[in-house]
Amino acid sequence: MTTPAATPLPYAEFDGHPATEDDLRTAAFFGYGHFTAMQVRDGRVRGLGLHLERLDSANRELFELPLDGDPVRELIRHALRSAGTSDASVRVQGLRPPGAAATTVMVTVRGPARMDPRPVGLKSVPYARTAPHLKRPGEFGQTYYGELARRGGFDDALLTLPDGAVTEGAITNIGFWDGTSVIWPQAPALLGITMALLEQELPGAGVPSLRRPVNLNGLGAYRSAFVTNSQGMAPVARIDGTEFTVDEELMKRLAAAYEAAPRDIL
């Protein structure tokens, strides 16, 4: 029996069928929507319930429609089968073109990815996302400031409010280490799935996890910092002119806490 060749990546499906030109045109022209991004390994995902909850909550807020988790899981499984892989970067996006009665679910499959673990430098920028609790495509401001940061010799941007309050990275959450506790900025920001899993797992690993206001003028109070997103985590070497200790032991403890979170079967 001949095994069919895997579909070349990246691969996309709309409501369970391979993307057509019309589908992709719709996604390009109507960017109003929401998404979640996940890493799939051996058909399993850490924090799957959090991803599905994020999609349902955002869909209700944007479109006043539920987005049930079971059909979404089947759409992800179908796209992975069609792509011929169980290890992948998967993005699930909800969109509703004008006049449509239901939410269209787009699932894209790319090769697996992992954040570069090398220490990063962040440039603070005066930018706050609209409705930051929602994960949405096409954020011009984040891309714009991220590119400016890279032109200035940094790896990415750090978003801040007018009073200097730290909120989040351009595409990451940020955490700080004061020597005894992990401190997450208490400010309007997206609750990333990796951040949520660390908040859940760190106390059981003997590491206090707290939310407190963090301001640019108070960064010197922290020994170390790190960023997280769906691809993993990395230490922060500097924010503007403030340098941080790259604490390898802290990063090992964070990684162990994250690895303790179970992978859920799709």
Kindly list the distances between the CA atom of residue 90 and the CA atoms of 21, 38, 72, 108, 134, in Å, as whole numbers in the listed order. Answer: 20, 5, 12, 6, 18
- Quickly name the fold that domain 11-110 has: D-amino Acid Aminotransferase; Chain A, domain 1 (3.30.470)
> Which residues pair with residue 176 across a beta bridge?
183, 225
The CATH superfamily holding the domain 120-261 is: D-amino Acid Aminotransferase, subunit A, domain 2 (3.20.10.10)
Tens digit of each residue's pLDDT (9 = 90 or more) over 107-135: 999 999 999 999 999 999 999 999 999 99
Closest CA to 77 of 43, 106, 103, 34: 43
- Give residue 8's pLDDT band: very low, low, confident or very high (50, 70, 90): confident
For residue 2, pLDDT over 80 is answered with: no
Domain with CATH 3.30.470.10 in the chain: 11-110
pLDDT at 3: 38
Query: pLDDT band for position 97 (50/70/90)?
Result: confident
pLDDT in tens, 81-93: 999 999 999 999 9
Query: With bands split at pLDDT 50, 70 and 90, how would you rate the model's confidence at 41?
Result: very high
Contact 139, 145 (CB under 8 A): no
pLDDT value of residue 6: 61
Single pTM value for the model: 0.94
**What is the per-residue pLDDT across 156-175, written as a single tens digit (0 to 9) for each?**
999 999 999 999 999 999 99
Residue 46 pLDDT greater than 60, yes or no: yes
Whether pLDDT at 150 is above 90 = yes
Peptide bond into 10 cis (omega under 30): yes
Mean pLDDT confidence for 137-145: 93
Q: Tell me what percent of the residues of the chain surpass a pLDDT of 70.
A: 98
Q: What is the mean pLDDT of the chain?
A: 95
Q: How far is 65 from 157, CA to CA, in rounded Å? A: 34
Which residues in the chain are classed under CATH 3.20.10.10? Answer: 120-261
From the list 205, 158, 165, 160, the residue with the least C-alpha distance to 181 is 205
Mean pLDDT to the nearest integer, 208-237: 98
List the Cα angle 17/57/162 in 5-degree steps: 115
pLDDT recorded at residue 193: 98
Give CA angle at 138 (93, 110), nearest 5°: 50
The span from the CA of 86 to the CA of 94, in Å, is 22
Q: Which residues pair with 95 in a beta bridge?
A: 33, 104
Look at residue 171 in the predicted model and tell me its pLDDT.
96
The pLDDT of residue 42 is above 60: yes
3-state secondary structure string across 159-190: EECCCCEEEEECCCEEEEECCCCEEEECCCCC
- Do 197 and 82 touch, CB atoms closer than 8 A? no
Helix ranges (H only) for the chain are 21-29, 48-63, 69-83, 140-151, 193-201, 248-260
The number of residues making up the chain comes to 266
Report pLDDT for 1.
37
Answer whether residue 7 shows pLDDT above 90: no
